[in-house]
Amino acid sequence: MNSLVNILQDLIYVYTLVLVVYALLSWFPGARDSKFGQIIDRLAYPYLSFFDSILPSLGGISFSVIVGVLVLQLASNGLNILR
């Protein structure tokens, strides 16, 4: 059971990094149009679109990445309890 929890936590960590990179790419014009940006977008968009549909953007700023990372961290903490 511990090894499964460790694998899931590692996957959550890697996906959190993908979301952080996704957010950082938004600061650079045209970065999401690159091959790397398209890969990151394909990985992050399905998860973040759920939060985009629920949360309104304020002044053109989307908080879906922040909420998405928080949800992943809550899931990781929940997995710690299962140990």
Would you write out the chain's pLDDT as a tens digit for each of its 83 residues? 789 999 999 999 999 999 999 999 999 999 999 999 999 999 999 999 999 999 888 888 889 999 999 999 999 999 999 87
Using CA atoms, how far residue 81 sits from 2, 74, 78, in Å, is 11, 11, 5
pTM attached to this predicted model: 0.90
Please give the pLDDT value at position 69: 98
Tell me how many domains the chain contains.
1
Please give the pLDDT value at position 58: 85
Q: Which residues contact residue 51 at a Cβ distance below 8 angstroms, ignoring those fewer than 6 apart?
A: 63, 64, 67, 68
Please give the pLDDT value at position 25: 95
Burial readout 13-26 (b: 16 or more C-beta within 10 A, e: otherwise): eebeeebebbbebe
Range of the domain at 42: 2-82
3-state secondary structure of 7: helix
